[in-house]
A and B are shown apart, each in its own frame.
Chain A
Amino acid sequence: MHTEENCRFAKTHEWAHMEGDIATVGISNHAQEEISDIVFVDLPKVGQQVTAGQNCCVIESVKSASEIYAPVSGEVVEVNTALANDPALVNREPHGNGWLFKIKMTAPAEYENLLDLNAYKVTIQK
């Protein structure tokens, strides 16, 4: 199970949790607090190729749209369909049931370049 402690983070506030060659992706607790009141998640399509650092998903709050960047490269193999009926799951459980999508990684080394929780916490304190 993915938790804040066993994830890696992108500076753009996405987290990734690796199991084998599959990375589950979501947004950090800090990010969901900043975005607040999430009302719609425009998820990528299963089968879509994504590249680390590129926009592949949009999270809509009442106030604004936030682009979500793929933390690692690969193919989207699953999306969190529960978000269609309950997008606020991302607010309530950003590290649990509020995950966004899963990527079958083509360059697992990219995962190692992501920040651990402590390093990520330093970036959001700035």
Chain B
Amino acid sequence: MNDTPLQKTPLCAACEKAGAKLVDFHGWLLPVQFEGIIAEHKAVREAAGMFDVSHMGQIFVEGKDAWAFLQYINCNNIKNEPGAGVYSHILTEKGTIIDDAISFCLTPEKFLVVVNAACIAEDFAWFEKQASHFEVAVRNESAQWGMIAVQGPKALEQVTKLLPQAQELARFHIAEISLFGVDGYLTRTGYTGEDGVEIMLPNAYMEPLWNALLEQGVKPCGLGARDVLRLEAGYLLNGADADQTRTPYEAACGWVVKLAKENFVGKDALTAQKAQGVQEKLTGFVLKSPGVPRAGCKVFVGAEEKGVLTSGTYSPLFKGIAVGYLAADAAVPGTEVEIEIHGKRAKAEVVKTPFYKNRV
């Protein structure tokens, strides 16, 4: 057993006060749910919910070569245009996925990269290693910043009461904000398939922000609902659906790979894989009988084992849904498969993702 004490976000006490059930998530003590996953899911799909995502990382890249450096370590084209953000994958030389992250341009010489909590240390070390050939300074400020995601069709309306500039902020853009007398960042991003924003402030100002949103009626939501929402919306969970054994092509994210770019880490490997095609591909499944598919369940086509699930859940909208790696020849929408759940085979069908057609 690992005896390292769990890390707490600046909102841990506020979440407990709001009735959170707290769990260990990659070494962080985080709320898995408040009222309940189904009620929280509904709030985000129909109104507005908020998530404490303070565990996520903030890495700043500054200097003359900031953009060139980010272009080199990302497979997607990073925008060198103040305010603009781009979702991309950060790859190994083999073209496999270290992390998925959004790089926001603050100025042509200053970028903010928001990374996954479980990858902060590894990303930062990788950035520092790769930065040696560039005129850049890389700073990990993850421990200083807190972050709340406000998501749902009413999210913008709610956040505008505190931050009027939210209304004009374009999708995947960032704005520098001032709230409670301190500087922070507002981004029109999220991980739910709904419209919404994410607000970053220094740790000490997170509780006032949480309380203000709570008073306005924004519903506190936990990681449980977040996982259902992101899976419905077809977003990868790094560490589950993607890791350093999988490339963006295998993870069905070919759209983030810009092979026309001059050079980036992993380009040679991906160029070769693109020519050869992939053996396995991340594929969506819908269960056709009652039950809940989970990560680790085997997928059969006829008698043959052809894949394994990496994420699965019960969706209030679509019942049993999952994604997993399936032999590429079987990864065709409409293909009938069987998923082994608790030792029994359940009928399922290969479907195109996302399950939930996002309004954003």
Query: Are A and B a genuine interacting pair, yes or no?
Result: yes
Residues of A bordering B, CB below 8 Å: 36-37, 39-40, 42, 58, 60-63, 65, 84
Q: Select A58's contact among B33, B37, B38, B342, beta carbons within 8 Å.
A: B342
A62 touches B224 (CB 8 A): yes
B342 touches A84 (CB 8 A): no
> Which residue on A lies nearest to B36, using beta carbons?
A37
Is the CB of B291 closer than 8 A to any CB of chain A? yes
Tier of interface size on chain B: 10 to 19
Q: A61-B37, A61-B314 known; 4 other A-B pairs, CB under 8 Å?
A: A39-B314, A40-B290, A62-B228, A65-B294
The 7 lowest CB-CB distance pairs between A and B, nearest first, are A60-B292, A39-B314, A62-B37, A62-B314, A63-B224, A37-B38, A37-B37
Is the CB of B313 closer than 8 A to any CB of chain A? yes
B37 touches A36 (CB 8 A): yes
Is the CB of B32 closer than 8 A to any CB of chain A? yes
* Across-interface contacts of B314 in A (CB, < 8 A): 39-40, 60-62
Q: Select A63's contact among B32, B290, B291, B342, beta carbons within 8 Å.
A: B32
B305-348 interface with A by 8 A CB criterion: 313-314, 342
Residues of B bordering A, CB below 8 Å: 32-33, 36-38, 224, 228, 290-292, 294, 313-314, 342
* Across-interface contacts of A84 in B (CB, < 8 A): 290
In angstroms, Cα B315 to Cα A39, docked, is: 9
Least distance between B234 CB and chain A CB atoms (Å): 18
In angstroms, Cα B36 to Cα A65, docked, is: 16
B38 touches A40 (CB 8 A): no
Least distance between A66 CB and chain B CB atoms (Å): 11
> Which residue on B lies nearest to A60, using beta carbons?
B292
* Across-interface contacts of B224 in A (CB, < 8 A): 62-63
B32 touches A40 (CB 8 A): no
**Could you tell me the dominant secondary structure of chain B's interface residues?**
mixed
Q: Select A40's contact among B33, B37, B291, beta carbons within 8 Å.
A: B291
B38 touches A62 (CB 8 A): yes
Most buried by B among A37, A40, A58, A84: A37
> Which residue on A lies nearest to B294, using beta carbons?
A65
In angstroms, Cα B225 to Cα A62, docked, is: 9
Q: Select A39's contact among B32, B292, B294, beta carbons within 8 Å.
A: B292
In angstroms, Cα B156 to Cα A62, docked, is: 28
> Which residue on A lies nearest to B33, using beta carbons?
A36
In angstroms, Cα B42 to Cα A37, docked, is: 13
> Which residue on B lies nearest to A34, using beta carbons?
B21
In angstroms, Cα B320 to Cα A65, docked, is: 13
* Across-interface contacts of B32 in A (CB, < 8 A): 63
Can you report 23 A-B residue pairs in the complex whose CB atoms are below 8 A from each other? A36-B33, A36-B37, A37-B38, A39-B314, A40-B291, A40-B292, A42-B291, A42-B342, A58-B342, A60-B291, A60-B292, A60-B314, A61-B37, A61-B314, A62-B37, A62-B224, A62-B313, A62-B314, A63-B32, A63-B33, A63-B224, A65-B294, A65-B342
* Across-interface contacts of A58 in B (CB, < 8 A): 342
In angstroms, Cα B228 to Cα A36, docked, is: 15
* Across-interface contacts of B290 in A (CB, < 8 A): 40, 84
In angstroms, Cα B314 to Cα A61, docked, is: 8
In angstroms, Cα B291 to Cα A60, docked, is: 7
In angstroms, Cα B41 to Cα A36, docked, is: 14
Least distance between A36 CB and chain B CB atoms (Å): 6
* Across-interface contacts of B294 in A (CB, < 8 A): 65
B36 touches A36 (CB 8 A): yes
In angstroms, Cα B294 to Cα A60, docked, is: 10
Most buried by B among A37, A39, A42, A63: A63
In angstroms, Cα B291 to Cα A58, docked, is: 10
In angstroms, Cα B38 to Cα A40, docked, is: 14
Least distance between A38 CB and chain B CB atoms (Å): 10
* Across-interface contacts of B228 in A (CB, < 8 A): 62
In angstroms, Cα B223 to Cα A62, docked, is: 12
* Across-interface contacts of A65 in B (CB, < 8 A): 292, 294, 342
* Across-interface contacts of B291 in A (CB, < 8 A): 40, 42, 60
In angstroms, Cα B297 to Cα A58, docked, is: 15
In angstroms, Cα B292 to Cα A40, docked, is: 8
Least distance between B275 CB and chain A CB atoms (Å): 41
Least distance between A45 CB and chain B CB atoms (Å): 12
In angstroms, Cα B313 to Cα A58, docked, is: 15
Least distance between B310 CB and chain A CB atoms (Å): 16
* Across-interface contacts of A37 in B (CB, < 8 A): 36-38
In angstroms, Cα B313 to Cα A91, docked, is: 19
In angstroms, Cα B232 to Cα A62, docked, is: 13
